[in-house]
């Protein structure tokens, strides 16, 4: 795959995406294809129906991806370490919401089937949460140190993401709903650590940060915690015995940008 130039990869992927949009994202749309010249000078055409993971996921995300067995071990370790570290400072008491489970993958968005399954851990929730920005920033920093130690990288807050900073409609939605798009004034923060097809989600909420009373009413109506730190882990993976087969199936797509999905499966 060494001779696929970046420009050529971008052009072919955009061409395939344009075809997909013209056909429409329906079950009847033909799967997109992408052509490129490999390192031996041969023209190769891949059919995205054969893509073994979901549309929108990059092949490179799975080049050194965890296996299901590794994901399960990482989930247990990272969630335990975060709870212990935060509890040592804030004396949190924790409870769980939901059950940990693997969910079989379905369609890949191009009319084919994925080889992977997706894991969602139990969500851990503290019974209380501090209210100050300084304490929230400290919680993000502690969580980031642990996720980095376990190979997931640091936690990026939603508000620090480039898409948030440049998407004015997103900011307008926050202002319309919460009265502000300034994270220093919002009563909830959310951040994610993501790498190698695995992720950890950190969510913090404290309605006392909202002086209007709307937040307290919203959480009361929804039944969700009014003051809580929540953490959960997820991964998309295959069992260790199927890792080689996944790598082989991905190999023709490495270096390509997946086009827009053409089916809703």
Task: Render pLDDT for 42-56 as a digit per residue (tens, 0 to 9).
Answer: 999 999 999 999 998
Residues 191/153, Cβ–Cβ less than 8 Å? no
The beta strands (E) that lie in 69-163 are given as 94-97, 101-104, 117-120, 123-126, 156-157
DSSP code of residue 1: -
* pLDDT value at residue 126: 98
Choose among 160, 153, 190: nearest CA to 78.
153
**Interval 47-67 mean pLDDT:** 94
39 or 99: whose pLDDT is higher? 99
Q: Please, which pLDDT band fits residue 196 given cuts at 50, 70 and 90?
A: confident
Q: Mean pLDDT across the chain, nearest whole number?
A: 89
Helix 68-90 to helix 133-149 angle (10° resolution) is 150
DSSP category for residue 210: -
Can you tell me the mean pLDDT for 241-262? Answer: 95
How many alpha carbons lie under 13 Å from residue 59 in its C-beta half-sphere?
19
For residue 67, what pLDDT band results from cuts at 50, 70 and 90? very high
Indicate the DSSP class of residue 38: -
Query: CATH 3.30.2030 region(s) of the chain?
Result: 68-237
Query: What pLDDT shows up at residue 22?
Result: 38
Instruction: Retrieve residue 75's tokens.
Output: 């989930």
Beta partners for residue 154, in sequence order: none
- Are the C-beta atoms of residues 260 and 25 closer than 8 Å to each other? yes
DSSP secondary structure code for residue 250 in this structure: H
Q: pTM of the entire structure? A: 0.85
Q: Which fold has domain 68-237?
A: TBP-like (3.30.2030)
pLDDT at 28: 56
| 32-51 average pLDDT score | 94
Residue 108: pLDDT over 50: yes
């Amino acid at each position: 795959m060494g001779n696929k130039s970046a420009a050529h990869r971008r052009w072919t992927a955009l061409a395939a995406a344009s075809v997909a949009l013209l056909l429409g994202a329906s079950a009847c749309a033909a799967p997109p294809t992408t052509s490129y010249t490999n390192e031996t000078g041969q023209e190769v055409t891949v059919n995205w129906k054969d893509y073994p993971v979901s549309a929108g996921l990059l092949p490179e995300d799975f080049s050194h991806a965890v296996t299901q067995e590794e994901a399960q071990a990482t989930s247990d370790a990272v969630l335990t370490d975060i709870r212990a570290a935060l509890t040592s400072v804030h004396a949190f008491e924790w409870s769980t919401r939901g059950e940990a489970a693997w969910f079989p993958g379905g369609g890949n968005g191009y009319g084919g089937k994925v080889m992977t399954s997706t894991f969602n851990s139990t969500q851990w929730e503290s019974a209380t949460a501090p209210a100050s920005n300084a304490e929230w920033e400290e919680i993000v920093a502690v969580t980031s140190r642990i996720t980095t130690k376990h190979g997931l990288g640091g936690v990026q807050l939603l508000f620090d993401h480039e898409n948030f900073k440049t998407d004015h409609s997103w900011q307008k939605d926050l202002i319309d709903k919460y009265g502000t798009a300034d994270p220093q004034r919002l009563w909830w923060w959310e951040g994610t650590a993501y790498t190698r097809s695995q992720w950890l989600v950190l969510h913090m909420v404290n309605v006392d940060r909202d002086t209007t009373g709307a937040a307290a009413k919203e959480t009361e109506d929804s039944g969700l915690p009014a003051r809580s730190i929540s953490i959960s882990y997820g991964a998309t993976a295959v069992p260790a015995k199927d890792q080689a087969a996944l790598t082989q199936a991905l190999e023709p797509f490495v270096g390509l940008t997946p086009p827009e999905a053409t089916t809703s499966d």
